[in-house]
Structure 1
Amino acid sequence: MTTLEFSYSLNQLSSTLKPFALKLTRDMDDANDLLQDTMVKAFTNKDKFTEGTNLKAWLYTIMKNTFITNYQLMVRRGTFVDTTDNLHYINSSGSLVENGVFGNFTMDDINEAIDNLDDVYKTPFMMHFRGFKYHEIADKLQIPIGTVKNRIHIARKFLKEDLMVYKHNN
């Protein structure tokens, strides 16, 4: 088969390969790139094609292998592994060490905000925080359950205002 005949055959089969490329990539631009890569590889390796065999099957195999190779490269590019003597995994979140100082400041601020609450709100709030049910708090403080719920709600509101600085700090 001459180069011209081979080129003509590739051109004829390109339209049948496009749906397969689209099925593999699920994106039109990526499918066009894959089709182009397949045609370039087929043309540069035309000497490896055995005349009389199925050209279409040969092209499908090239396309499938090209897709797999590109996918593996993309996955490998997404993860970087440091191969130095320390063997640290750069992208590993398992080796994340957090500084506890900010947590201490936060807890100090939370405790201060709770201490600043009036006792009328702080007592039911802290009881609820420690796990008491609304009706238990009401019985213990000898106030209606609705009052307990209201005071806990107001305590949360005051704490939320006092600790607003931490709202967007994660």
Structure 2
Amino acid sequence: MTAVEFNYALQNSTKTLKPFAMRLTKDYDDANDLLQDTLVKAFLNKDKYTDGTNLKAWLYTIMKNTFITNYQRMMRKNTFIDTTDNLHYINSSSSMVDNNALSNFAMEDINHAVEKLDESYRNPFLMYFNGFKYHEIAQKLNIPIGTVKNRIHIARKELKDALKIYSFSRGLN
């Protein structure tokens, strides 16, 4: 088979190789890349093709092997092996699993700080926190709306001071 005939046969095989590439990669762009890699490898190794054998089967084999090689390379690249003596990277905080312990401690601190508020500030604050409007709180507690706003403001300020340890990690400035 001449070089021109081989190139023509490669060109005609792309229509049947494309669906196979899509089945392997399940992504349009990756399938195009795989098809291109396959055709480049076939062209570069045309001297290894035996004339008279099934060209499509040869191309399918190249494509399948290219896909497997690329997949294995990607998996190796994403695998991290810690070779330090003290397993520094494995024990670093970047590999920690979040188990909500910090959230639980924070909620305990918040609840404790709210409980420590004077009752005259705690009640309007909790009502506002639970969705009541200022005028509803004023009506239920039988106090002026300005007093409600003032007590909620003071409660927020006291909570902010009591929970300032969380200001850097949570953005409570």
Check whether TM > 0.5: yes
| Equivalence for 2:69 | 69
- 1:82·1:89 contact (CA, 8 Å) conserved in 2? yes
One-letter amino acid matched to 1:114: E
TM-score of the two chains, using structure 2 as the length reference: 0.58
RMSD across aligned C-alpha pairs, in angstroms? 4.3
Partner Cα distance (1:34, 1:47) in 2: 21
Once the two structures are superposed, residues 93-131 of structure 1 have per-residue CA deviations (whole angstroms, 9 ceiling, x without a partner) of 795399x99987875554232121529x89xxxxxxxxx
Counterpart-to-counterpart distance in 2, 1:91 and 1:9? 56
Change (3 A) 1:57 1:89: farther
Gapped runs of 5+ residues in structure 1? Answer: 123-152
Which stretch shows the higher mean deviation, 50-59 or 107-116?
A: 107-116
Residue 89 (structure 1) shift:
4.9
User: Could you tell me whether the CA contact under 8 Å between 1:80 and 1:89 is conserved in 2?
Assistant: no
Q: 1:50/1:101 Cα in 2 relative to 1: closer, same or farther (>3 Å)?
A: closer
Matched letter for residue 81 of structure 1: I
| 1:29 Cα deviation after fit | 1.6
Identical amino acids, percent of aligned pairs: 55
Q: Given the two structures, how large is their TM-score scaled by the length of structure 1?
A: 0.59
Instruction: Return 5+ residue gaps in structure 2 as ranges.
Output: 131-151
Q: d(CA) in 2 for partners of 1:35 and 1:154?
A: 64
Report deviation, 1:39: 0.3
Deviations 1:5-57 (A, max 9, x none): 22121111111111111222222221111110000011111222222221101
Match of 2:46? 46
Q: What is the DSSP-based 3-state SS (H/G/I as helix, E as strand, rest coil) of the residue aligned with 2:81?
A: coil
CA deviations 1:50-102 (Å, max 9, x no partner) are 2222110110111111112212222332333232333455598795399x999
The separation in 2 between residues aligned to 1:61 and 1:37, in whole angstroms, is: 13
Mapped pair 1:19 → 2:19 = yes
Contact 1:80 1:90 in 2 (8 A): no
Residue 116 (structure 1) aligns with? 117
In the alignment, is residue 33 of structure 1 matched against residue 33 of structure 2? yes
TM alignment of 1:126-165, pairs within 5 A: 154=127, 157=130, 162=159
Q: How many pairs are equivalent? A: 139
Change (3 A) 1:29 1:92: farther
